[in-house]
Amino acid sequence: MKWKTTSLLGLFSLLFLFTCQNRPASGENASAGQGAALTPEEQEAFLAKGADITSATFSALSGRLRSALQQEGVAGAVQYCNLVAYPLVDSLSQAHNATIRRASLKVRNPKDKPTSAELAVLEEYHAHVKAGEPLLPMVKAIDGSRAAYYAPILIQEACLQCHGKLGETLKEEDYAVIEKLYPEDEAVGYQAGDLRGMWSVTFQR
């Protein structure tokens, strides 16, 4: 599955790993229990922290993915991500003392199925899309000791090589590789600009 050339950024999103995130000017706060509401200072700090973590994750992975793409094309990059991306993200989660995830309503890897909390945020983002409203990163309190950062992942033109319309922007031979690795794949049929999913980063308050 932010890390800044247009083609590399798009290809990262297309594999549903990562996407470029701009640091937000504002966020949202939701209480997850009595006394759990985030203070304005926490909101500002966690928006910045979440953006930094996702940016660092993108930077750590981008060089390796670029090499796989150059040497083996989309099919090779998909196989690379299947084997390497999640273990590397896990190690970055440990390094940042956070839990870094991607989630979507249409998953490729079953690991990206949203939790109940993530599902609520994804539905909120999709409601914003239908209303023509901007999609901004946000932070929410989970409980008195944890907070979560969420940010949208949008489909770029290059993403369509792995997530576009089969036989059009997504080549049949490339999707054959994807199906072998992800037999329950749902993450196709997108157009540029569509909401692919979101970042979900949980850390201690």
* Within-domain flag for 89: yes
The string of pLDDT tens digits covering residues 152-171 is 999 988 788 889 999 999 99
* Within-domain flag for 183: yes
Q: 121 is in which domain, residue-wise? A: 6-200
* Within-domain flag for 205: no
pLDDT classification of 91: cutoffs 50, 70, 90 = very high
Whether pLDDT at 149 is above 70? yes
**What DSSP element (H or E) covers 42?**
helix 40-80
Q: Does the predicted TM-score (pTM) go above 0.85?
A: no
Q: CA of 33: how far to CAs of 49, 58, 98, 133, 181, in Å?
A: 22, 32, 21, 28, 40
How many domains are contained in the chain? 1
Instruction: State both tokens at 64.
Output: 């390796």
- The letter for the amino acid at 89 is V
- The letter for the amino acid at 202 is T
Tally of residues, the chain: 205
The string of pLDDT tens digits covering residues 34-48 is 347 999 999 999 999
First to last CA, the chain: 27
Classified as helix, coil or strand, 60 is: helix
Question: What share of the chain in percent tops pLDDT 90?
Answer: 62
Bigger pLDDT: 16 vs 67:
67
* Within-domain flag for 1: no
* Within-domain flag for 137: yes
Bigger pLDDT: 32 vs 113:
113
* Within-domain flag for 42: yes
* Within-domain flag for 176: yes
